[in-house]
């Protein structure tokens, strides 16, 4: 089992949140018209 610190775990979690946000923003930017959540989830694999 690893000996990851709380700070390391929080940092990794923060990075994952930012990566997901960037993925969603990129998907939104590809569309000129509004996009529904199901389509965004499919495109971003969330």
> Residues 13-45: pLDDT tens digits?
899 999 999 999 999 999 999 999 999 999 999
Q: Answer yes or no: is pLDDT of 1 > 60.
A: no
Q: What is the pLDDT of residue 9?
A: 84
Cβ neighbours of residue 20 closer than 8 Å, sequence gap 6 or more: 44, 46
Predicted pLDDT of residue 13: 87
Comparing CA positions, the residue from 12, 8, 9 lying closest to residue 20 is 12
Domain borders along the chain are 6-44
pLDDT at 2: 64
User: Residues 6 or more apart from 27 whose CB is under 8 A from it?
Assistant: 35, 40, 43, 44
Report pTM: 0.70
């Amino acid at each position: 089992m690893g000996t990851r610190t709380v700070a390391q775990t929080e940092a990794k979690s923060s990075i994952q949140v930012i990566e997901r946000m960037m993925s969603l923003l990129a998907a939104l930017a590809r569309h000129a018209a509004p996009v529904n959540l199901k389509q965004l989830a499919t495109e971003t694999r969330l």
